[in-house]
Structure formats: structure tokens, C-alpha cells
Amino acid sequence: MSSEAVADIGLIGLAVMGQNLILNMNDHGFKVCAFNRTVAKVDHFLANEAKGTEIVGAHSVEELCRKLKRPRKVMLLVKAGSAVDAFIEQLLPHLEKGDIIIDGGNSHFPDSIRRTKELEAKGLLFVGCGVSGGEEGARYGPSLMPGGSEAAWPHLKPIFQAIAAKADGQPCCDWVGETGAGHYVKMVHNGIEYGDMQMICEAYQLLRDGLGLSHAQIGDIFDAWNKEELNSFLIEITRDIMRFNDTDGKPLVEKIRDTAGQKGTGKWTAISSLDMGVPVTLIGEAVYARCLSSIKDERTRASKVLAGPVGKKFEGNHKQFVTYLGQALYAAKIISYAQGFMLLREAAKEFNWHLNYGGIALMWKGGCIIRSAFLGDIKNAYVSNPNIESLMFDPFFQKALANAQDGWRYVASQSVLLGIPAPAITTALSFYDGYRTEHLPANLLQAQRDYFGAHTYELLDQPGKYIHTNWTGRGGNVSSSTYDA
């Protein structure tokens, strides 16, 4: 080994996330070699942010690889997509069997599945690693979700677990699973984040438009919730946002245009749920709610002509409503996470991953945007029964749903009566009621399908036997495979 090989890990991409991760690794005693395609950036970084640290730099991919101890570990923090493949191509000639490439970007999981297979075929190891927590997390403790070539894990574990956030004294980073599992889990994390944010926004609107409360009053409600079972990063920042006044003394949030942006990870989660036939309804509604918000001009025109409930004002007890709303939020949140873990289970089946669900809950408990006390309860549920069919079957959550359901139903019905949209809170309730219903009306649906398409049906007492009925007494012999509905 060349005496030049001094660094424990190389990192490519000196945008904010990359820089902060490097500084974080340096803080924990690891020697990092930094590289950026624009090499002036490397020198600038070494002379400024990295001044006085152990961090070294490289001016080429070749130099970077020369400076790494074996097995070489190179982490990419570059834009997801073709840039990742381009850097992998550039690295290949300078790597040897057993060396490790880590993609810490926001890659779509099918790419990570493909890259793992391609690199393993070349004798290299690949890790697709979800990184959550934004700039602050990257610097002082992100949530890290690594998956891919498991043989890479023992080499990465000391570094990753050292720099990760800690929850209950444990690192928010553990091996997630094979091929694209790391990026998949990160994607579902982001989907759940969409759902959490949407529910909170619905609660905000019910308090603002339903009860007519001021932002300061709503801030106090979120403050109180943050001290109870809803305690979480997103509830906490919502409280702070409610209390943030602009220079004119008015709440800044009031002035922000109500059209939501999105980068696609929530959409990916919804698409994957449709692909796999898992009813992840709350995240789906959260994505659609952003879409609906974005057609602001059309909504403005509709607001002038489409009728809503006339003269309906909330006439109940405010204090009671706030209590019920807290219950509705909590129950909807349980449903959203139950749906998210249902999706993970199905993905594990589909892609042959061995996922550690309790470990995933722990990875999300600190460092990332959805961090909350609640994830500790989810972890406990999976620790006491790793094979639990659904979180809703866990005694703790079963009881929590039972305790919250009256308030949840009250809030859902009030939102409907008042004409205030609450798609996440209401879809969660519909899902819950559907999930706990033994006889759904799909018997009729099957009859309809058989009627017009001869798709056949099963009888309750003879599952597995497919029957077609001549419903009309007309028509010839139809094949059930001619069309689908």
C-alpha cells in the first residue's frame, strides 16, 4: 500500500451536505479526503471551512483513490441521476476488488438496485445510503439509512454510527438491507414526512378557519401538544412558525402564498404503493393535497362560484375541540406509519430484502425530519413482535386508536360539516374503518365485474373456486380474459 494512502474515506461533492458530512466525520476522528469536480472548490474548502482540521483534498479522482486506505471507501454526495453513474464510471479504473462506493444522494431506489448489481458483478461493493436531517443533521448528526452490499457494512459501521444522530443513546444508523433497501427506506421516510406535514396543516386550518383562532393562540396549542404524545420536530417547528412575526408584527406565515412545492420523493412513495397494491392512502392524499394547492388561480375562481355549507360556524366547545383535534392527529399519525410499514413489508417481499423494522424506527427516531417520541413506541412494538402484521395489532397502538377514535370521528365530521378540507385526517379514518371491517362491499364489485366482463368471483364458503354467472340470460360465451376492470 502506498504511503500516500492516509484517508479513511473519500467524499465527492462539496455542496453543503457534502461539506457538513466531511466536517462531522473529521470531528469524530476520521481522516477524510475531499474532492469536487470544480477543483478550485476543494482548495477553497481546505483553506476555509476545513482549515485547521485533518481533512485532505484531491485534485483528481485518481489522486482521491490513491489517498484512500483499503478497502477504499468513496462516498458520493452529488445530484441524483446521471451524475452518480458518471462518477462511478470515473472511479472504476482506480478501484480494486472489495473497494466500496457509497451513494449518499437522494437516488431513486431502482437505480440503487441496479448499481449494487452492476458493481458487485465487477467485484466491488455498493451502498445506497439515505441521509436525512438537512444541513444541520449532516453537520451534527444525521439519520443514515445504508443498504446494498452487506459485505461493506463492517467497514462503514464505525464511521457511520459515529457521525449519526443518537436516540436513547443508540445511533440512528444501522444496516437496512440488500440492494436498494437504504434508498427505499429513505423514500418512505420522506413520504411519511409528507403525511405528517399535511396532517399538521389540516389541524392548523381547522383551528384558524374553523375556530377562528389567531396564530399566537394556535402556537400555544402546538406548544402544548409538543409536551404530550405528539412531541416531534415538526410539531415543534410549527409552534415556532406560528409565533414568528414579520417586521410589521404580523405572523409571517399568514403572508406566504399557499402553493406547495415538491421534489418527488412523496410521489415516488405513492407510485410504489400503487405498484405494490398497498393502500398507503394518507401519503397519497398528502401528495394530492400539494397538487391541489398548486392550482391556486383555479381555486381562487372556484372559491367565488362553488357553494359550500352556508352560514356554518363551529358552535361547539373550543377547548373540547382542541383536545379532539390532538386525538385526531395522533390517530391519523398511527395510521400513516402503519401504512408506511405495510409498504415496507411488501417491498421486502417484492425485492427479497430482510428489513429490520424496529431498527428502521430507531433510525428515524433522531436526526431526521420525522423524528419524534412516537417512533420509540413503534420500535417497541417491533421489538416485542418483529413479525407483527400491522402496527395496529400492537396492543399499545390498538389501545391508542381506541382511545382516540371518538375525538377523531368528531373532528372528521366537523371538517366535513364546516366544509374545511382535511384529506389526511379523513382518509386515515376511512382506512381504519375499512381495515377493521370484515365484510366490505367488494362482493358487489365482484358481481359487477362478472356481470359486464365475466371476470368470475369466489363464494364466501368456497374460496379458490372461480364461478361465472349468466346474469342477464343473454349473450354468448364470454371469456374472462378479454378485458379488465
Ligand X SMILES: *[C@@H]1O[C@H](CO)[C@@H](O)[C@H](O)[C@H]1NC(C)=O
Does 214 appear as a known binding residue?
A: no
**If we measure between CA atoms, which residue out of 144, 134, 130 comes closest to residue 174?**
144
Geometric angle at alpha carbon 105, from 99 and 109, rounded to 5°:
85
Do the Cβ atoms of 418 and 309 come closer than 8 Å? Answer: yes
Tell me which of 3, 247, 387, 477 binds ligand X, using CB under 6 A: 477
Does 318 appear as a known binding residue?
A: no
Q: List Cα–Cα distances, 202 to 45, 334, 422, in angstroms.
A: 43, 16, 5
Tell me which of 2, 3, 38, 479 binds ligand X, using CB under 6 A: 38
State which residue, 29 or 81, has the beta carbon closest to ligand X. Answer: 81
Say how far residue 248 (Cα) sits from the centre of its chain: 36
Q: Does 102 bind ligand X (CB under 6 A)?
A: no
In sequence order, the 6+-apart residues with CB closer than 8 A to the CB of 31 are: 6, 7, 8, 9, 54, 55, 56
Q: Does 82 bind ligand X (CB under 6 A)?
A: no
Tell me which of 5, 26, 31, 37 binds ligand X, using CB under 6 A: 37
Tell me which of 476, 481, 484, 485 binds ligand X, using CB under 6 A: 476
What whole-number distance in Å separates Cα of residue 192 and Cα of residue 177? 20
State which residue, 41 or 365, has the beta carbon closest to ligand X. Answer: 41
Respond yes or no: is residue 193 known to be catalytic: yes
Rg value, the chain, Cα: 26
Do the Cβ atoms of 13 and 36 come closer than 8 Å? Answer: yes
Min CB(54)–ligand X separation in Å: 21
Min CB(87)–ligand X separation in Å: 7
Q: Does 482 bind ligand X (CB under 6 A)?
A: no
Q: Does 318 bind ligand X (CB under 6 A)?
A: no
Tell me which of 61, 65, 78, 100 binds ligand X, using CB under 6 A: 78
Q: Does 86 bind ligand X (CB under 6 A)?
A: no
Q: Find the farthest-apart pair of alpha carbons in the chain and give their distance in angstroms, rounded.
A: 88
DSSP 49: T
Min CB(65)–ligand X separation in Å: 15
Say how far residue 327 (Cα) sits from the centre of its chain: 22
Tell me which of 24, 36, 238, 336 binds ligand X, using CB under 6 A: 36
Q: Does 46 bind ligand X (CB under 6 A)?
A: no
Do the Cβ atoms of 80 and 58 come closer than 8 Å? Answer: no
Q: Does 75 bind ligand X (CB under 6 A)?
A: no
Tell me which of 9, 21, 41, 420 binds ligand X, using CB under 6 A: 41
Instruction: Considering only residues 262 through 291, tell me which ones interact with ligand X, judged by CB under 6 A.
Output: none
What whole-number distance in Å separates Cα of residue 278 and Cα of residue 217? 39
Min CB(118)–ligand X separation in Å: 20
Identify the burial level of 255 via C-beta atoms within 10 angstroms of its C-beta, where 0-12 means exposed, 13-18 middle and 19 or more buried: exposed
**If we measure between CA atoms, which residue out of 184, 92, 114 comes closest to residue 146?**
184
Active-site option among 41, 67, 73, 186: 186
Does 391 appear as a known binding residue?
A: no
Active-site option among 178, 193, 202, 285: 193
Tell me which of 277, 475, 482, 484 binds ligand X, using CB under 6 A: 475
Q: Does 17 bind ligand X (CB under 6 A)?
A: no
Q: Does 473 bind ligand X (CB under 6 A)?
A: yes
Grid cell for residue 123: 467485484
State which residue, 89 or 350, has the beta carbon closest to ligand X. Answer: 89
Grid cell for residue 77: 454526495
Task: Give the alpha-carbon dihedral of 253, 257, 258, 263, to 10 degrees.
Answer: -100
Q: Does 479 bind ligand X (CB under 6 A)?
A: no
* Per-residue mark of binding to ligand X, 217-256 (x: CB under 6 A): --------------------------x-x---x-------
Task: Count the residues of the shown chain that bind ligand X, applying the rule CB under 6 A.
Answer: 18
Grid cell for residue 404: 382516540
What whole-number distance in Å separates Cα of residue 136 and Cα of residue 52? 21
Q: Does 440 bind ligand X (CB under 6 A)?
A: no
What whole-number distance in Å separates Cα of residue 180 and Cα of residue 214? 45
Respond yes or no: is residue 122 known to be catalytic: no
Residues at the site binding ligand X, with contacts judged by CB under 6 A? 12-15, 36-38, 41, 78, 216, 243, 245, 249, 470, 473, 475-477
Cite the active site residues. 186, 193
